Structure 1
């Protein structure tokens, strides 16, 4: 989390929108074996973030006994000093990151199936054609796959979003940065700058 308060947007709905749009993140926890991270699809539900890990993942056996941190990275882009009118600038990076901290509980098998169905439903809806559904998997195959993963839910007790969108620069400089980001293919972060920073 960036320490500059200018980059804090206290907008829970926007944070949830980023999590839902990105749909993928990292789960961090400290274990007796040291710090660990897992990369996983995420599903936000009523202030909680559900995810699943391989049964053999180093975090799986420790998550219920420790707090965890989920991090979702949104759009980002390199900001060149060449884009500023003021020559006394240095390179930086504009980005969106959502940190969610909380306690974790293990999902039962029905909860895991519900999580998998919710994940596939959300992402299949973005594709053309008839959506794939979990009931297309033969029951024996699905049972074997479910045995290989563990579902979890993080009850979010702290939201720490960072929307670093050049808020610390004058409007004319932000406009130049936005145009520069667009020309380098970082349209996602440029669009957020236009939408969120007056």
Structure 2
């Protein structure tokens, strides 16, 4: 994570909200074959753990049970031009971004836990889709679902360490932050502009 302590915002509820809103991240683990990463959908249990699933054939899968792993969820981000400052000759471009790291021991889920995880994952994400009736796993052919379940493995991580970076021009005057947020809005980066306006400097 970024070393500047000004970019910390240790509000656990906010961090869990970011994990839930993004819903997808990267899982890193050290293995006998070297460092490995898997790209996974992530669900926060809201009680200090996250759940995810990985393809059984993924090289990282057989090394996760009992391992300490690192999960990373990237929130909104955007390039910031030096021209957006009052004195661009005394500035350089930068990048504002949100990132949440979670570290902890991993345990494998039982089959019923995996099925419940997939139901929860589906329900949460179907609720985001506008129009039409949300799809439910019960609509799928049970034999087909069972076949797919055999191809994935579910895991839960007890998050022992949360590390966040919320680089949103902290330390700059409020007027500068407001101006940068306006420029971000113009570039279509409304999510990070909103966070810049709503989180304290």
Report if TM-score (shorter chain) is over 0.5: yes
Q: Which residue of 2 aligns with 1:122?
A: 124
Provide, for residues 131-176 of structure 1, a one-character-per-residue CA deviation record: whole Å limited to 9, x for no partner: 1111112121111111000000010000001111000211121112
Secondary structure at the counterpart of residue 120 of structure 2 = helix
Q: Which residue of 2 aligns with 1:158?
A: 161
Provide, for residues 65-116 of structure 1, a one-character-per-residue CA deviation record: whole Å limited to 9, x for no partner: 4211110000010011111113311111000000000000000100000000
Aligned length: 198
Gaps of 5+ in 2: none
Gaps of 5+ in 1: none
TM-score (norm 2): 0.96
Whole-angstrom distance in 2 between the partners of 1:42 and 1:66: 18
Q: Which residue of 1 aligns with 2:59?
A: 58
1:177 aligns with 2:158: no
Partners of 1:165 and 1:197 within 8 A in 2: no
**Structure 1 residue runs of 4 or more that deviate by more than 4 Å after TM superposition:** none
Whole-angstrom distance in 2 between the partners of 1:90 and 1:3: 19
TM-score (norm 1): 0.97
Whole-angstrom distance in 1 between the partners of 2:181 and 2:56: 43
Whole-angstrom distance in 2 between the partners of 1:69 and 1:168: 29
